[in-house]
Structure 1
């Protein structure tokens, strides 16, 4: 399938020569959407009823991002206008990172407010930038060879017990909280006791299991040991572990079924 865009007063192509949307604020009707990848992009009026599709396979999308990286889905996501708001939908497996660290996981939806949004598809070897701007006031690279299949990234191995404890600890991240933090250990223990009354759960037991996973991954992943993080350490070690497991798709929203969701 090759997508064709008909130029109109409401939908038009955005050449890559426009430069970064961070510095460029085009004159436009409030609510107008600008989406820019490495090879160009789109401008869509708020009343155009035109969904913008992005991904690595240039013939199948309106805005190409991550060309040549088989970890990025050929059609990785869409941006649509619904009830007066632009919404980003992640259709791929890799998360999309917002400024501030918020991750939009596969099948999740996030609102795009007025202003500039540098979004990154988090792939194993690099992050791929998709620039988005929603107008508040007025405000070449040849196609890469596209492989036939989207290559899954390597994930970490977890035992069933490790996965249960970590999903409980990381549930705010998996539910898409805007500024997630690991659950407190006492809350983790309370939930585990309810889920598994025979497990003799305590916060120390849960913390010991998570510490074991951090230690096992620490030879490859930085920021999982106390001496690697400047004080105060706080939640940093568990936050770093959760981010690694989410970004590598080792855990995902589907794992919330372990908590009865």
Structure 2
């Protein structure tokens, strides 16, 4: 049954409360937990052993999620305070989807939440996505200063040679074309396309592979994860090149207008 919340600072959040992504009030005890769904939520101070429950069965949870969607479990998940941290675990049949597309299943061990904002999703019936917003209060010393008037900091792009850039645009063209489920081209497909647009450069699948491997190695040494066989395990498939292209897109190293270099019009 629902825990009686009597700790100082605990309060119910109404369904009309603004998204936790917009931030939470300053001056609250560090470690305070804020949880919000479309039906409302809760703010609770940290206390060893405290558990906040969320799921479909409104009478027996602190935060109701998907109350009219029978795909969501009556008790879908739990947020527990232990060892000065909040931990999230899945208790329902469906996994929680966390940032980075990580899926947390009920068989998995609880994982710690970082301070700040964490969105969690559960996929329900008919493609519905149910959002549980979580925000763990940071200390004032951790809160970054406001920067309203500061110049925007550009993303850190990766340096590529002209040949590397060309090969990667061809390899990742399905991503740049915004296909719904993109995959990298194979080495042979990329070489065929490159020979069509640059016939004098004598592209082979080995040449494409060598260039891309050099970029992956360089970026892996620069701190990007998911670019080596040791990290992703076997079978590798397209995973390494998929992760590579995603990183290049997210850092704006490659952008859709680059498609002009391989013959696509605006």
Change (3 A) 1:12 1:106: same
Describe how 1:143-182 pairs up with structure 2 within 5 A. Answer: 182=232
Change (3 A) 1:179 1:60: farther
Count of aligned residue pairs for this structure pair? 154
Could you give the per-residue CA deviations for residues 94-121 of structure 1, whole angstroms, max 9, x where no partner exists?
A: 1111111111112321111101001101
Equivalent residue number for residue 19 of structure 1: 18
Aligned counterparts of 1:35 and 1:134: Cα–Cα separation in 2: 9
Equivalent residue number for residue 53 of structure 2: 53
User: For 2:20, what is the secondary structure of its paired residue?
Assistant: coil
Aligned counterparts of 1:113 and 1:47: Cα–Cα separation in 2: 17
Could you give the per-residue CA deviations for residues 136-164 of structure 1, whole angstroms, max 9, x where no partner exists?
A: 1358xxxxxxxxxxxxxxxxxxxxxxxxx
Equivalent residue number for residue 127 of structure 1: 129
**Residue 233 of structure 2 is aligned to residue 183 of structure 1:** yes
Change (3 A) 1:4 1:183: closer
User: For 2:59, what is the secondary structure of its paired residue?
Assistant: helix
Q: Give unmatched runs, 5+ long, in structure 1.
A: 140-177, 187-206, 208-231, 238-261
TM-score normalised according to structure 2 size: 0.51
Describe how 1:1-261 pairs up with structure 2 within 5 A. Answer: 3=2, 5-27=4-26, 28-47=28-47, 49-108=49-108, 109-124=110-125, 125-137=127-139, 182-185=232-235, 234=240, 236=242
Tell me which structure has the larger Cα radius of gyration: 2
Change (3 A) 1:7 1:13: farther
Aligned counterparts of 1:100 and 1:33: Cα–Cα separation in 2: 21
State the structure with bigger RCO (CA 8 A, min sep 6), 1 or 2.
Answer: 1
Q: Give unmatched runs, 5+ long, in structure 2.
A: 144-224, 244-266
Kept after mapping to 2: 8 A contact 1:11/1:48: no
Change (3 A) 1:133 1:235: same
